[in-house]
Structure 1
């Protein structure tokens, strides 16, 4: 019985691994950024957390929208329809560029919200100039996502990874030089981190386009693109898939952003601790995201072939693999919950010893909750990828809204701000939202695939 699922593990991992490594690269840069900024002080670390909370919301919408490209390209690849695949890329690229520009403008408009969010004044004053620069990097990031999602749809998952790795190495180097003022560069603090992020993201999109251009399988897709010769039907198709997908990711990222803001109300140390725990948890989430892309691509291929029994078997294989990996990460967080937060702060800094120790203590407690939601988070993101592969996006959007904002947010708000649980209470709300989301999405996929199999069999 198990063999029918486990025999797919190797191929699923080969498809997902480059995505995992690319996503982990992004998160690793976040880890290095946080470690570097953490050496400046807890206020600077909290400021990066606050500034990035605005970025995360905008990024979630743009990245979520771009995921519409992958199932369309995967389905076209299954049908061997080049024209349809190139159309999906062109129209997706156009829409992602427009969305990147709009999101950049919205972040600038939203900046004054920091002054009315009851955040520490010292943190806000540091976060504003950081956000000015890092917001610009949204534009190349969302354009990169369009090419990445296309590349994933063709099962060319290695090329976005290569571009990401090179860009991340450059980002780490620039951050080191500009944050601390090394090798003759000016010492710019967290603003230097924003500049490093912007430059590296521009390089990243240019490098991915070049790699796709020199690859025979993808070259014809990414060259001679008549970007302003558009078809209303394809624009509508991508929008109908992309908008619900963007809302799904928005609802999830926004609940984690709410955790950042609620932690800021508790003070700079709870906010810094939340940032540490969130950064560590996001690394494991990126592994699940890689499996989600694998599910989206493989389900999309099987949908194009109308092989629904095989589609269901392959999807369940990916779900099982994701569960096993998530369980391993849960154990890792439990075993090392007190050690991991110490990586981010200077424990020998006698001037800030009290602050640093409080941050480490809170973060260690949050990692125990993070261990619990590893499985819930892994299930929900992987199943969501499979549903996107089926181009089923509207009902899952409702599910994610209910799970995170009808169930999760009230719990985190009440237990975080109105009980002695504080930071732990906020993360229990996250756990509740992710668990409900994972359960309901799995039920949706299970019922939908059974119906597809039954419908095909009846003909």
Structure 2
């Protein structure tokens, strides 16, 4: 164990900015939910439904962009700046195209909302919200290209600063437009969507400015533009990016399916699901930060062809993730009655029975979340290590089996056909994530054995 503990400090220093950035990124949604939750459970359910579509697009965009990091990290370990420049610029071009493509896909898919067996008043509120937040995918995916490049260069602090500043902007705009403070109009959930869009645009501007002015990165911005497109490099990114995006899509779609199932059960179940999901997503970002660390360090040692050190580094990160998620599991169990109260305001026009039901369901879901986030943390850090090895195709199939052949069928059965309802939906999530953690780790062990 000593050799693993010796890696903790380096892992922590590399992961901390990523974790803070990821937490800040998730806080955009949490802040939106807290502000909107003061308006009522219908508004909160509408945001949940709208975001369920956006999360699908976001998973594809963010998953695709992760292909940039291991390529950049490998070039960096080999001191190949020209290869790194090509990977960054082609990755940015591809992410820009993908961002616009995802927006148009969501825009034309919007009528599906009316056929999803959701409450009519929730669908009516969700449509204008979806238009604006859907467009925010464009700057978000472009931001991801800058972020993954900087992460691959082991400079993880810049995206952290961008998300911190973006959150401050989002909080201010939410306060002004959701409730109509000072001279600003009261726009409800549309105001919340505008805050998200403006914050994400700022994050792109900030990342471009701060990286292009940095001496370490100046050479990567030479001949910057569409003329930098190279088919061979773009093909390499696409070859890694598409399976990576599918991996993330399968997981996010599983949680999106949980949102839809809870919406079919009732508005209070959907609102409770959104509360629990917001809290679980926040703690999951710690594991995501460690996943990025695994991807960077594994790719570095792959570039050096040092698989013995790679094995030690990877397992040290796996161990850190397990420890962190166990701590959060205990916190969730102890605070399951307390945390959901932040998301509803008992002094508004909400029905007292409705409030009590939302809080009761939320507390039960947090108990399940306490257990599934341990599995979730393990699977995401192992997935990061596999991406560092540039092994993405087999993990794509494994995640599909875990989430859609194991997890979601259990969610449907327990949620729709038993008295567990929303709690049963989340037990299905636990089953899928546990299956993914086991299968992905076995895949990692198989690859390491192959390289010995």
Q: TM-score, normalised by structure 1?
A: 0.97
Q: CA deviation at 1:266?
A: 0.6
Residues 213, 223 of structure 1: 8 Å contact kept: no
1:433-459 residue CA offsets vs partner (Å, 9 max, x unmatched): 000000000011011112112xxxxxx
Residues 403, 437 of structure 1: 8 Å contact kept: yes
Structure 2, unaligned runs of 5 or more: none
1:293-342 residue CA offsets vs partner (Å, 9 max, x unmatched): 00000000000000000001000000000000010000000000010001
Residues 29, 278 of structure 2: 8 Å contact kept: yes
Residues 38, 44 of structure 1: 8 Å contact kept: yes
Structure 2: distance between partners of 1:232 and 1:52: 34
Aligned ranges 1:202-221 → 2 under 5 Å: 202-221=201-220
CA-based RMSD: 0.9
Residues 15, 294 of structure 1: 8 Å contact kept: yes
The equivalent of 1:13 in structure 2 is 12
The equivalent of 1:375 in structure 2 is 374
Structure 1: distance between partners of 2:177 and 2:349: 26
The equivalent of 2:316 in structure 1 is 317
Q: Secondary structure at the match of 1:420?
A: coil
The equivalent of 2:23 in structure 1 is 24
Matched, 1:299 2:298: yes
Structure 1 residues 184 and 350: alpha-carbon distance in aligned structure 2, compared to 1, 3 A threshold: closer
Aligned ranges 1:101-116 → 2 under 5 Å: 101-116=100-115
The equivalent of 2:277 in structure 1 is 278
Structure 2: distance between partners of 1:153 and 1:384: 16
Q: CA deviation at 1:215?
A: 1.7
Deviates more, 1:220-229 or 1:428-437: 220-229
Q: CA deviation at 1:263?
A: 0.4
Structure 1, unaligned runs of 5 or more: 454-459
Matched, 1:134 2:110: no
Aligned ranges 1:96-245 → 2 under 5 Å: 96-245=95-244
Matched, 1:67 2:66: yes
Residues 40, 348 of structure 2: 8 Å contact kept: no
Aligned ranges 1:348-367 → 2 under 5 Å: 348-349=347-348, 351-367=350-366
Structure 2: distance between partners of 1:349 and 1:175: 18
Deviates more, 1:275-284 or 1:346-355: 346-355
Q: CA deviation at 1:350?
A: 6.6
Structure 1: distance between partners of 2:275 and 2:223: 44
The equivalent of 2:401 in structure 1 is 402
Structure 1: distance between partners of 2:222 and 2:166: 23
Structure 2: distance between partners of 1:366 and 1:301: 39
Q: CA deviation at 1:374?
A: 1.6
Residues 70, 299 of structure 2: 8 Å contact kept: yes
Structure 2: distance between partners of 1:52 and 1:381: 22
The equivalent of 1:266 in structure 2 is 265
Residues 209, 222 of structure 1: 8 Å contact kept: no
Q: TM-score, normalised by structure 2?
A: 0.99
The equivalent of 1:89 in structure 2 is 88
Structure 2: distance between partners of 1:223 and 1:169: 32
